[in-house]
Amino acid sequence: MNEHAKPFSGRYVSSDRRVREDTRFVAGAGHFVQDIERPGMLHVALVASQHPAATIEDIDASEALAMEGVVAVVDGNELSNAVNPLMNGLDTPEVRRFPLAVGQNRYAGEWVAAVVATSRALAEDAAEKVKVKGEKLGYVMDPEKAMEADSTPVHPSHGSNVLLDRTFDWGPVEDDFARSDETLKLRVTWGRNSTVPIETFGVICEWNAWENVLEVWASIQMPKYADQIARALGLRGNDVRVYYDVDVGGSYGVKRGIKHTVLAAYLARKLGRPVRLIEDRLENMRSGDAHGPERIFDIGVAFDRDGTINAMKMRALDNAGAYAGRAPFQLGKPIGAIVGPYRINSVQYRAQSVTTNKAVQEAVRGFGQSPTNYALETMMDRVAEHLGMDRIALRRKNFIRSDEFPWEIPSGSKYDSGDYHAVVDKVLAQSGYEDIVAERDRLRADGLCAGIGIAACLEPSGGNSSFEPLLNPKNRTSTWMEGSRVNVDALGDVTVTIHTTSSGQGHETLAATVVGEVLEIDPDRIRVVRPDSLGSLPGNSPVGSRMAIMLGGAAANAARDIKRQISAIAAHSMGVAPDAVTYAEGVVRGPDGRTVEWSEVVDIAHRRFHDLPEGTNPGLTASFIQQVPTGVALPKDGKAQMYPCYSFEFHVVLMAFDPVLAKPEIRRYIIGHDCGTVINPHIVKGMTLGGIAHGIGAALLEEFSYDAEGHLMTQSFLDYLMPSSNEVPEVEIVHHCTPSPFTEFGQKGSGESGYLGAPAAISGAIHDALRPWNIHLNKLPIRMSAISDAIASAKENT
């Protein structure tokens, strides 16, 4: 099985090549949704609710409608009579969600009406004149209170706030707890944050009545987007055309504006004109429905005195916000790596998702894995602390060993490959870990708080969305395919297709590189295009760190098919069997040394049917639909094979801060990273560094905070703080390559790297720095005020 025991060595794969997309962006020539002008285009502004929950008795739009340039005002009643509820992956039919609130709103800022005008400025002016009448309702913001039986239900007809409450028992958990020397409990909380791209979500919809087609341009990163639009509007699948050549200004999971799209599409059909809805920053932060997980973890862990972790009980309570969204499933992905890189024998996992009167969650980088890793790694630190054991030694003791792969974890997923011990050794050696320890001690001697943070974690990648059928038995998903097509035109030039939008991941570079690798031709000669959704092969968009595996696999396999066709045509022209020839750099060589050039094969394929082997279609084209490697079956007995590939990362951070001011400063940041074969080193490096920056934000700065009255307090970039170039340090990357046995070149995913371990590592460094006071700060983000307050009160108490 392990055909890639050694790292893949290619001509183009892994080589230092530029990222082709960069050229248009440095010239300001990207093609973003905001840059698209359609004749007669109308603009939408939203009327937002002022209370966390209130009935909607009457909407008086007369003053707005009388204003110059205002074309229409639409409310939730009108919209919900015309469109179907938005897709809800769980089996909770009474938790209905429409783009505009219907009957009542469920969080402050939720859209209650849409104002359409000839310019955005006029629409905003008019939106201020729309009067909404209603009665305030009870509301709940805290997920534990929302669980209580007498809590105000956010969706009264659903009966309670519980969307999901499922307990999994994998292995002899109780026995393992009983036989262990020690047990420990801890609670940690992951604050509500998000990736907050610099481009807000935007969409333009246009209804072409003569062709019966809805045209959509959007800043989107969403699986099955066109299907969802069609279902919501009651259109045929082939009535919706999504343009995939729109550049997306950052997403990291969240650009899934289905509610915006359904609203704009309805308005475009109703008004017979193109309609543009681009969020402003306030709409994006408050009501774009793009917040990330907010999660309380209660963990029990059972271990022996030698540091062996035997079992874990984890309860994860997630605050989904006002509607289900993708929140419950973000409790599902971590099941595929529930023990991290450790040999934990048994696990009990209780996943709870509840509604509250907060904004809706969307998929955020890692899809719930980063919070879970933060909980796991904090658990490891606490066990080490309890035993007085070195944190790295404890991790090394429990790591799965390189000769044990493929390794099946208690929840049923098999890890493909890895060498965790080797990565840790490399990081410690290359970073000069002893010097880091000495530096920490020197800083402490200078009177500063200084600490080292450690985190080891996995990046599950390329999965087939098995958490959907696992958490909802009515869902029968067992594929999450991706397609690509390779054409060789009549001039012999190669064009590859991608069937999704991209948001900075470099998919054009990826596709060109792997096709160039297989065909042994310079990738710079290969063009990459994105047909619209009606001209596309099936695909599932760039989610779950899947494209290197899935698009890389599809394009490589399509190219292999082209190579096979070329060899067969050339062999036929030489009068020899197809398996008697060899292909090298576009030239086919026969057993007797004769060669047939690329141009000759192209000429035969495109012009000379009479020279083609029998049964061969003319033209040189190949499509390939890649199925998820290892993704062959539905979940069974509460277990699932979730991801084919598991990347590994190991973080070491040195932090220091003044004990009074407590502004955390990162002095060193080293990450060991193993994502198998790297297709493009620049892209993987960028993903890793960018992920760490997101992790720094989540650990220290970023949170969507609500006040007791249910209003979002951090709704601009002045109060939702994001790391700038002053907060993100220079990061040292230590590379390692353990190829995956399941992918074309041994590649694994890396789109979420950095983010998955950074929050845990930073939290760990702060705790190491606070060790003299034995302080535990159990909630992210850890703001400087929380640190200084904790030190001050610890000093008072001693």
User: Given candidates 71, 112, 196, 596, which one binds another protein under the rule CB under 8 A?
Assistant: 196
Closer CB to another protein, residue 209 or residue 718?
718
Closer CB to another protein, residue 155 or residue 255?
255
CB of 510 to another protein, least distance (A): 13
CB of 730 to another protein, least distance (A): 6
CB of 717 to another protein, least distance (A): 4
User: Given candidates 731, 737, 760, 769, which one binds another protein under the rule CB under 8 A?
Assistant: 731
123 binds another protein (CB under 8 A): no
Closer CB to another protein, residue 635 or residue 757?
757
Alpha-carbon distance of 308 to 180, in angstroms, equals 9
Closer CB to another protein, residue 359 or residue 692?
692
32 binds another protein (CB under 8 A): yes
> Candidates 383-391, 442-450, 650-658, 722-730 — which segment interacts with another protein by CB under 8 A?
722-730
195 binds another protein (CB under 8 A): yes
Closer CB to another protein, residue 34 or residue 479?
34
Helices and strands (H, E) in the chain, number of each type: 20, 30
User: Given candidates 327, 384, 693, 782, which one binds another protein under the rule CB under 8 A?
Assistant: 693
769 binds another protein (CB under 8 A): no
Task: Name the CA radius of gyration of the chain, rounded.
Answer: 27
Contact 318, 73 (CB under 8 A): no
80 binds another protein (CB under 8 A): no
CB of 655 to another protein, least distance (A): 17
29 binds another protein (CB under 8 A): yes
Report the residue count for the chain. 798
User: Given candidates 21, 215, 674, 752, which one binds another protein under the rule CB under 8 A?
Assistant: 21
> Candidates 15-23, 456-464, 611-619, 644-652 — which segment interacts with another protein by CB under 8 A?
15-23
Q: At what angle do helices 420-431 and 391-398 cross, to 10 degrees?
A: 150
User: Given candidates 89, 460, 523, 690, which one binds another protein under the rule CB under 8 A?
Assistant: 690
User: Given candidates 22, 306, 404, 524, which one binds another protein under the rule CB under 8 A?
Assistant: 22
Contacts (CB under 8 A) with another protein, residues 496-525: 503-506
CB of 256 to another protein, least distance (A): 16
Q: What share of the chain is helix, strand, coil (3-state, %, to 5)?
A: 30, 25, 45
User: Given candidates 66, 717, 771, 792, which one binds another protein under the rule CB under 8 A?
Assistant: 717
CB of 267 to another protein, least distance (A): 21
> Which of 298, 340, 327, 26 has its CA nearest to residue 144?
298
| Alpha-helix runs per DSSP H in 575-644 | 598-607
User: Given candidates 673, 694, 736, 748, which one binds another protein under the rule CB under 8 A?
Assistant: 694
30 binds another protein (CB under 8 A): yes
User: Given candidates 3, 5, 9, 24, which one binds another protein under the rule CB under 8 A?
Assistant: 24
707 binds another protein (CB under 8 A): no
Q: Which amino acid is at 639?
A: K
Closer CB to another protein, residue 352 or residue 545?
545
CB of 261 to another protein, least distance (A): 20
Alpha-carbon distance of 101 to 93, in angstroms, equals 17
> Candidates 135-143, 191-199, 438-446, 655-663 — which segment interacts with another protein by CB under 8 A?
191-199
Classify 693 in phi/psi space as left (phi over 0), alpha (psi -120 to 50) or beta.
alpha
CB of 682 to another protein, least distance (A): 4
CB of 66 to another protein, least distance (A): 20
Contacts (CB under 8 A) with another protein, residues 380-439: none
Alpha-carbon distance of 517 to 526, in angstroms, equals 11
At residue 340, φ and ψ (nearest 5 deg) are 55, -145
> Candidates 306-314, 375-383, 591-599, 716-724 — which segment interacts with another protein by CB under 8 A?
716-724
Closer CB to another protein, residue 262 or residue 528?
528
Contact partners, residue 796, CB within 8 Å, separation at least 6: none
CB of 732 to another protein, least distance (A): 10
531 binds another protein (CB under 8 A): no
CA distances from 49 to 70, 122, 193, 256, 492 (A): 21, 20, 22, 22, 59
Size of the site for another protein (CB under 8 A): 55
Task: Spell out a b/e string for 746-780, using b for 16 or more CB atoms within 10 Å of the CB, else e.
Answer: bbbbbbbbbbbbbbbbbbbbbbbbbeebebbbeeb
Closer CB to another protein, residue 483 or residue 506?
506
Contacts (CB under 8 A) with another protein, residues 657-686: 682-683, 685-686
197 binds another protein (CB under 8 A): yes
Contact 596, 605 (CB under 8 A): no
At residue 472, φ and ψ (nearest 5 deg) are -140, 95
Q: How many CA atoms lie within 13 A of 693 on its CB side?
A: 20
Binding mask 233-272 for another protein (x = CB under 8 A): --------------xxxxxx--------------------
Q: Across-strand partners of 487?
A: 495, 621
Q: Is 213 helix (H, G, I), strand (E, B) or coil?
A: strand
171, with CB counted inside 10 A (0-12, 13-18, 19+), is: middle
Contact partners, residue 386, CB within 8 Å, separation at least 6: 182, 184
Closer CB to another protein, residue 693 or residue 700?
693
CA distances from 723 to 108, 695, 788 (A): 27, 10, 20
Q: How many Å from the N-terminal Cα to the C-terminal Cα in the chain? A: 60
Only one residue has tokens 């949170």, namely 703
Closer CB to another protein, residue 32 or residue 583?
32
Closer CB to another protein, residue 311 or residue 762?
762
Alpha-carbon distance of 700 to 718, in angstroms, equals 15
Only one residue has tokens 């959509």, namely 216
User: Given candidates 403, 637, 730, 796, which one binds another protein under the rule CB under 8 A?
Assistant: 730
Tokens at 313, concatenated: 């009980």
Q: At what angle do helices 507-519 and 547-574 cross, to 10 degrees?
A: 30
Contacts (CB under 8 A) with another protein, residues 280-339: 280-281
Q: Is 485 helix (H, G, I), strand (E, B) or coil?
A: strand
CB of 680 to another protein, least distance (A): 8
User: Given candidates 460, 629, 664, 754, which one binds another protein under the rule CB under 8 A?
Assistant: 754
Contact partners, residue 360, CB within 8 Å, separation at least 6: 97, 107, 289, 291, 320, 321, 322, 323, 325, 327
User: Given candidates 25, 407, 583, 773, which one binds another protein under the rule CB under 8 A?
Assistant: 25
Contact 671, 650 (CB under 8 A): yes
CB of 280 to another protein, least distance (A): 6
726 binds another protein (CB under 8 A): yes
702 binds another protein (CB under 8 A): no
Q: Which residues contact another protein by CB under 8 A?
A: 18-19, 21-30, 32, 34-35, 121, 195-199, 247-252, 280-281, 503-506, 682-683, 685-687, 689-694, 716-718, 722, 724-726, 728, 730-731, 754
